[in-house]
Amino acid sequence: MAKLEPPDIHHLLAAIGWVELGNPLEARNELSKISDEQRGHPDVLEGEWRIHAAAKSWTAALQVARRQIQAAKSHPAGWINQSYALHELKRTQEAFDQLLPLAKRFPKISVIHYNLACYACQLGHLEVAKRNLARAIKQRGKDEVKKMALADADLKPLREYVRAL
């Protein structure tokens, strides 16, 4: 896919900045300035997903993630975002099932393994969660994953295990 060109890239970056500042309303306003021809660009869709996620509008985020998948099937972002939105919508088994095939397609992407660990943990599959956490550690490093895991409510059932890593 072609890179976004000015002014669209500037609007996208501004939208992301507004999201990071905690202002999804201004982020949406900035995103609305992107040309119609570029609205389906994977980077624009990622920005739109982030806006919905920041606003905790998970149904809208799920719809955008599915558009991301259609726009770039070989890129994992849409699939990761789809599973995350499903999990937030309390459809954790579906989130796990949708994300699991990506672990084989993209074995070096730590967030896939980390999210699978979270979903497995919430589903009560603690051994599966531990294996996926180990894979995330292998890709991202023990200290970083351990720090994230200790702060992650989804991994609370594994808190003692994580502390011992």
| 91-147 residue pLDDT tens | 999 999 999 999 999 999 999 999 999 999 999 999 999 999 999 999 999 999 999
Could you give the CA distance from residue 118 to residue 100 in angstroms, rounded to a whole number? 12
pLDDT at position 2: 82
pLDDT at position 66: 97
pLDDT at position 51: 96
The pTM assigned to this predicted structure is 0.93
Structure token pair of residue 122:
């919430």
Q: Where are the alpha helices (H) located in the chain, listed in sequence order?
A: 8-20, 24-31, 42-54, 58-71, 76-88, 92-105, 110-122, 126-140, 142-151, 159-163
Could you give the CA distance from residue 99 to residue 94 in angstroms, rounded to a whole number? 8
Nearest one of 103, 152, 148, 113 to 133, comparing CA atoms: 113
| 65-81 residue pLDDT tens | 999 999 998 999 999 99
Q: How confident is the model at residue 1 (pLDDT cuts 50, 70, 90)?
A: low
**Residue 17 pLDDT greater than 70, yes or no:** yes
Is residue 47 within 8 A of residue 16, CB to CB? The reply is yes
Q: Which CATH class is domain 1-90?
A: mainly alpha
**Segments of the chain assigned to CATH 1.25.40.10:** 1-90
